Amino acid sequence: MKRVPPPHPHPSRPAFVLPRNACDTHVHVYGPAARFPLDPARAYDPPDAPIERLEALHRLLGVDRAVLVQATVHGTDNSAMLDAIARAPRRYRGVALVEDDVSPRRLEQLHEQGVRGVRYNFMPHLGQSADTDKVRAVAERIAPLGWHVQLHVTAAHLGALRGFLESLPVPFVIDHMGRTMVADGLDQQPLADLLDVLRHPRAWLKISGPERISAALSRQDRPYADAAPFVRRMLDVAPDRIVWGTDWPHPNVREVPDDGKLVDLLPLYSDDPAALDRVLVDNPRRLYGYD
């Protein structure tokens, strides 16, 4: 089984100062496996990345709030994520993986435990893609709770999924900028498709994972800065429906980034401090139901 490296051992303190109540909307916790066993059907084998290590990172970065996204390595057993949320329920929210037949009562219990969305995978390297009919059925069950559907999907596949996305009765959130690769340029069709989908009033986007789409590696002075023109295009289309995340501890990446350097990319994404405040504070407050 593929092993993935641990998080960056010595992340730097960013120069950019995050605003109060800034939210990192995309992080995972792994294990510890001795307490929270990994799913035997997982696609990769991660080292432990427990909540204590994430808390230390966020203190360094100046992050006040975070959304814990259930990792596929734990399958639909959300115990590790829920345990982490329970440590600081005013700071943390969750996005769960659930069974197709999940009951309304179970969804209500997850809501009480801080969950605000469900995630589905359309990435072949992580297993079989989700069944859109089953996703829609779950979306109907979560609609009364005010939740959303989060989608791990590439922009190249959005054209084929557009009818399905627009039929969902809840907001839908696209992960990691839709994996629009910088090397393919700003005129690439997948980026045009992503921006077109993003114009839908229920569409949201996470500007996470610049290290996944960058044409450069971290040896440059400002790592992954070539992703900034792509983010600017996205912010032009939907400034009130974009959120930011680190993707810590960075599974399945070419190299594990320094999270401090990821924070320092934020001023490259917009010249307007108020726009960054929306992305970091106001938009996640609405999407994840913070008080």
Active site residues: 247
Let me know how many helices (H) and strands (E) the chain has, helices first: 12, 10
The CA-atom distances, in angstroms, between 226 and each of 142, 182, 217, 218, 232 are: 37, 7, 10, 11, 11
Question: Could you tell me the two tokens for 110?
Answer: 């997850």
Which of 26, 289, 23, 285 is CA-nearest to residue 150?
Answer: 26
The four Cα atoms 92, 54, 63, 197 give a dihedral, to 10 degrees, of -70
Write the DSSP symbol of residue 49: B
Which pairs from 225-231 meet CB under 8 Å and 24+ separation? 225/265, 225/268, 226/182, 227/177, 227/182, 227/265, 228/265, 228/268, 228/269, 229/186, 230/177, 230/180, 230/182, 230/186, 230/191, 231/177, 231/207, 231/268, 231/269
Q: Are 202 and 169 in contact (CB under 8 A)?
A: no
The first and second tokens of residue 76, run together, are 């639909």
User: With DSSP H G I counted as helix, E B as strand and the rest as coil, what are the percentages for the chain, rounded to 5?
Assistant: 40, 15, 45
